């Protein structure tokens, strides 16, 4: 199952979730009405009396049904509004401590490095990172509406007990939920199911207050509260069934995806064995666990297997290691009961420091086959992880520290946009000083000097390391920053590919993340409904990657033949500006998965028509894929500008 098939499957599950929710609400209303009929004694008077009494009490039943529906609906809607803040809001509800860019804690630094490497490998924005310090169990989750507002939370138990390979397997599992679209489904499930659970919560609160009341009616109030708790118990049971039905198979898929793009099966399998072997397992102590149980790495509650939103632990391990038997956990439990595993100590003993290759030459070309590029979307493999590790390891430490710094991140990103022309750079610095002050301009100047020798392959990854720190800036400051970025890239009246890619990613992965639930849209449009936008996109790709107009035209025709061979379209007579693509994105992002598959293949054909894809073209391709919500991992390099690149 490829990325686009997984997206279709998640949409089918979303429809299934709505159907199950409607059935669950109808069932609760039915039980409430049935209970009222029993209280009225309707079943005691024979068939004729039953219908007469039913008609006589229809008004009460209608009011009760409407009240139940209103409570469930308002509770679900209110919870969804609470969750509009995205993944970080969920992590903070569970008491998460944010991992800052300047942390000195070795465990936090190890976690941050692992998350950043997997983010680069999977071509996703670096998420916010949290640690659930009060949780001793081994667990984790990813939450958010979209990749741009995602947060990954890891328990203190996972931090302490897992070595680097195991932690990487767990983080990769959570990234696969982001890639597969599960995260958005999970946060919807969290909001929807709250409405089903709310009757029981109301009953519990009423019972607590009635217990201390001296009112004459306190006994009736307590009976009503008990009834609400019974109805809420039914909702809780149904909610667990829904979570089990929706989430269980997604966990098997996430395990398989995690193995696909980490170095080995052993890391994830070993992490699962530690879940089964340590005393705390994967349990959480937070009172919010019931609400988030379906999005956790492991079962955080301790459900019976047929109610659990996760497959049995032994089955998950066996899927990764076919020869595994449950008895193998027994000696592990005995050993870890006396001496719990220490992840950092295991790292030192196993020598898990990263060994990485060198970056390719600055003029290296891309060695991807166009026909395989769509299959690469959302499906990072072992080589992608290795390239990501190389990119991460070769990032200059001072620049990476500035990217993660609340104090220096704005200056760093502005410095990335500064020209190599000294007179133009002076005008840009003057503009920064005017808008942000002399201190920021001075910091920008120092960062420009530090960036002078930065490998071109590291520019966009460095910017993406900065995005989490940028998202934490106040909204007015971000608006000013975004306006400054736009002014810097237009100060010379020109717009190169890197400037466009960086500005576009800033808009989609930083600014839109401020209100994530409003920007994600399901794709349903067809290619034939977006002719002008598709023409402009292919024309830009063809013109940017080919030296003369005739070769650009041939590249455009080749790409269009793959895209819509039955539709005739004129190649634009004049050059199409990269800025023209801004008008295309609102249409193209709403393409259905099948249309996006063909579009990515057509873009690759157009870009590679001259048998060469440069780094600048690759950055544009990956930016376009990011805007289409189709993350494309780092592309393979081969040779340099004088070497043929495509087979």
Q: 344 with 437, same domain?
A: no
Q: 486 with 561, same domain?
A: no
Q: 512 with 543, same domain?
A: no
Q: 173 with 163, same domain?
A: yes
Task: Tell me: pLDDT of 263 over 60.
Answer: no
Q: 500 with 549, same domain?
A: no
Q: Is residue 360 part of a domain?
A: no
Last residue of a domain, one of 519, 542, 572: 519
How many C-beta atoms surround the C-beta of residue 51 within 10 A? Answer: 12
Q: Is residue 435 part of a domain?
A: yes
Task: Tell me: pLDDT of 15 over 80.
Answer: no
Domain tally for the chain? 3
Q: Is residue 135 part of a domain?
A: yes
Whole-angstrom distance, CA of residue 40 vs CA of residue 45: 11
Q: 489 with 546, same domain?
A: no
- Quick one: tokens of 595? 């249309």
What are the C-alpha distances in Å from 209 to residues 202, 214, 225, 547? 11, 10, 10, 78
118 SS3 class: helix
Q: Chain-wide mean pLDDT for the chain? A: 81
Q: For residue 641, what pLDDT band results from cuts at 50, 70 and 90? A: very low
Task: Tell me: pLDDT of 260 over 70.
Answer: no
What are 175-214's pLDDT values in tens digits? 888 877 777 777 877 787 787 777 777 777 766 666 655 5
Query: In this predicted structure, which of 41-50, 130-139, 324-333 has the lowest mean pLDDT?
Result: 41-50
**Are the CB atoms for 186 and 295 separated by under 8 Å?**
yes
19 SS3 class: helix
With residues binned 3-state (H G I as helix, E B as strand, rest as coil), the percentages for the chain, rounded to 5, are: 70, 5, 30
Q: For residue 123, what pLDDT band results from cuts at 50, 70 and 90? A: confident
Q: For residue 642, what pLDDT band results from cuts at 50, 70 and 90? A: very low
Query: In this predicted structure, which of 30-44, 62-76, 177-191 has the lowest mean pLDDT?
Result: 30-44
Q: 259 with 272, same domain?
A: yes
Distance of CA 568 to the CA centre of its chain: 38
Whole-angstrom distance, CA of residue 434 vs CA of residue 430: 6
Last residue of a domain, one of 467, 501, 519: 519
- Quick one: tokens of 452? 């002078």
- Could you give phi then psi for residue 130, rounded to 5 degrees? -130, 150
- Could you give phi then psi for residue 141, rounded to 5 degrees? -155, 160
What pLDDT does 74 receive?
A: 87
Query: In this predicted structure, which of 258-267, 383-392, 433-442, 504-513 has the lowest mean pLDDT?
Result: 258-267
Tell me whether residue 174 is one of the annotated catalytic residues: yes
Q: Is residue 417 part of a domain?
A: yes
More confident residue, 438 or 371: 438
Q: 208 with 303, same domain?
A: yes
Cα dihedral 199/201/207/213 (nearest 10):
-100
What are 299-335's pLDDT values in tens digits? 877 665 656 777 888 888 888 888 888 888 899 988 9
Q: 485 with 566, same domain?
A: no
105-130 average pLDDT score: 90
Residue 220 burial class via C-beta count within 10 angstroms: exposed 0-12, middle 13-18, buried 19 and up: exposed
Whole-angstrom distance, CA of residue 506 vs CA of residue 626: 11
Q: Is residue 136 part of a domain?
A: yes
Across-strand partners of 638?
A: 365
What are 375-434's pLDDT values in tens digits? 777 777 777 777 888 888 889 999 999 999 988 999 999 999 988 888 888 999 999 999
Whole-angstrom distance, CA of residue 164 vs CA of residue 569: 53
Across-strand partners of 122?
A: none
Q: Is residue 643 part of a domain?
A: no
Q: DSSP letters of 256-287?
A: HHHHHTSS-SHHHHHHHHHHHHSTTTT----T
Q: 503 with 435, same domain?
A: yes
- Domain span at residue 146 reads 1-353
Among residues 166, 174, 251, 601, the one annotated as catalytic is 174
What are 576-608's pLDDT values in tens digits? 888 888 888 888 888 888 888 899 889 888 888
Whole-angstrom distance, CA of residue 137 vs CA of residue 135: 6
- Helix ranges restricted to H, 546-644: 549-563, 585-588, 593-607, 615-627
* Contacting residues for 474 by C-beta, under 8 A, at least 6 apart: none
Q: DSSP letters of 392-412?
A: HHHS-HHHHHHHH-TTTHHHH
Residue 44 burial class via C-beta count within 10 angstroms: exposed 0-12, middle 13-18, buried 19 and up: exposed
Whole-angstrom distance, CA of residue 195 vs CA of residue 78: 9
- What percent of the chain shows pLDDT beyond 70? 81
242-263 average pLDDT score: 65
Q: 338 with 433, same domain?
A: no
What pLDDT does 527 receive?
A: 92
What pLDDT does 644 receive?
A: 36
What pLDDT does 48 receive?
A: 59
Q: 255 with 377, same domain?
A: no
Whole-angstrom distance, CA of residue 210 vs CA of residue 220: 9
Task: Tell me: pLDDT of 53 over 70.
Answer: no
Q: Is residue 276 part of a domain?
A: yes
How many C-beta atoms surround the C-beta of residue 424 within 10 A? Answer: 15
What pLDDT does 541 receive?
A: 86
Last residue of a domain, one of 496, 519, 542: 519
151-166 average pLDDT score: 93
490-506 average pLDDT score: 83
What pLDDT does 518 receive?
A: 56
- Quick one: tokens of 399? 């620049």
* Contacting residues for 574 by C-beta, under 8 A, at least 6 apart: none
Q: Is residue 142 part of a domain?
A: yes
């Amino acid at each position: 199952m490829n990325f686009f098939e997984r997206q279709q499957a998640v949409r089918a599950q979303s429809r299934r979730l709505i159907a199950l929710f409607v059935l669950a609400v109808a069932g609760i209303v039915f039980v409430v009405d049935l209970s009222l009929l029993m209280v009225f004694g309707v079943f005691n008077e024979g068939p004729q009396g039953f219908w007469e009494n039913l008609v006589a009490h229809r008004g009460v039943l209608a009011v009760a049904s409407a009240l139940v529906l209103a409570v469930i609906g308002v509770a679900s809607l209110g919870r969804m509004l609470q969750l509009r803040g995205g993944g970080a809001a969920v992590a903070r509800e569970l008491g998460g401590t944010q991992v800052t860019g300047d942390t000195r804690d070795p465990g936090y630094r190890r976690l941050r490095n692992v998350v950043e490497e997997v983010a680069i490998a999977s071509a996703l924005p670096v998420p916010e990172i949290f640690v659930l310090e009060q949780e001793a169990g081994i667990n984790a989750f990813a939450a958010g509406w979209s990749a741009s507002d995602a947060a990954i939370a890891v328990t203190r138990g996972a931090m302490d007990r897992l070595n680097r390979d195991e932690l990487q397997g767990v983080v990769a599992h959570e990234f696969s939920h982001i890639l597969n679209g599960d995260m958005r489904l999970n946060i919807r499930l969290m909001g929807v199911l709250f409405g089903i659970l709310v009757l029981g919560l109301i009953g519990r609160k009423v019972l607590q207050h009635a217990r201390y009341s001296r009112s004459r009616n306190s006994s009736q109030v307590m009976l009503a509260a008990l009834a609400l708790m019974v109805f809420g118990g039914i909702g809780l049971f149904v909610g667990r069934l829904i979570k089990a039905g929706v989430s269980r198979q997604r966990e098997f898929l996430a395990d398989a995806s995690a193995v696909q793009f980490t170095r080995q099966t052993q890391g994830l399998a070993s992490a699962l064995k530690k879940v089964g072997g340590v005393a705390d397992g994967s349990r959480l102590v937070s009172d919010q666990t019931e609400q988030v149980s379906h999005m956790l790495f492991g079962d955080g509650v301790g459900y019976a297997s047929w109610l659990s939103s996760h497959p049995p632990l032994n089955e998950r391990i066996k899927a990764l290691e076919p020869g595994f038997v449950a008895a193998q956990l027994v000696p592990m439990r005995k050993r870890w009961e006396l001496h719990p595993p220490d992840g950092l100590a295991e790292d030192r003993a196993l020598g898990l420091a990263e060994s990485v290759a060198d970056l390719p030459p600055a003029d290296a070309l891309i060695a991807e086959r166009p026909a395989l590029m769509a299959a690469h979307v959302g499906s990072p493999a072992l080589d992608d992880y290795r390239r990501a590790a190389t990119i991460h390891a070769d990032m200059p430490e001072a620049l990476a520290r500035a990217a993660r710094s609340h104090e220096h991140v704005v200056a760093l990103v502005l410095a990335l946009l500064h020209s190599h022309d000294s007179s133009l750079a002076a005008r840009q610095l003057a503009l920064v000083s005017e808008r942000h002050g002399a201190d920021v301009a001075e910091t920008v100047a120092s960062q420009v000097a530090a960036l002078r020798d930065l490998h071109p392959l590291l520019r966009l990854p460095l910017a993406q390391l900065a995005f989490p720190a940028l998202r934490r800036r106040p909204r007015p400051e971000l608006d000013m920053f975004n306006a400054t970025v736009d002014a810097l890239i237009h100060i010379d009246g020109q717009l190169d590919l890197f400037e466009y890619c960086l500005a576009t990613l800033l808009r989609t992965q930083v600014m839109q993340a401020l209100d994530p639930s409003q920007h994600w849209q399901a794709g349903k449009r067809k290619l034939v409904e977006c002719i002008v936008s598709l023409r402009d996109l292919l024309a830009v790709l063809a013109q940017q990657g080919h030296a003369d107009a005739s070769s650009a035209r041939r590249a455009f025709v080749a790409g269009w033949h793959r895209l819509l061979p039955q539709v005739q379209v004129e190649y634009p007579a004049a050059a199409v500006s990269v800025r023209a693509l801004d008008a295309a994105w609102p249409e193209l992002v709403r393409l259905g998965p099948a249309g996006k598959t063909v579009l990515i293949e057509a873009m690759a054909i157009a870009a590679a028509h001259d048998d060469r894809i440069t780094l600048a073209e690759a950055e544009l391709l990956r930016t376009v894929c990011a805007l289409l919500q189709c993350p494309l991992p780092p592309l393979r390099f081969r040779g340099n500008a004088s070497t043929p690149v495509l087979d």
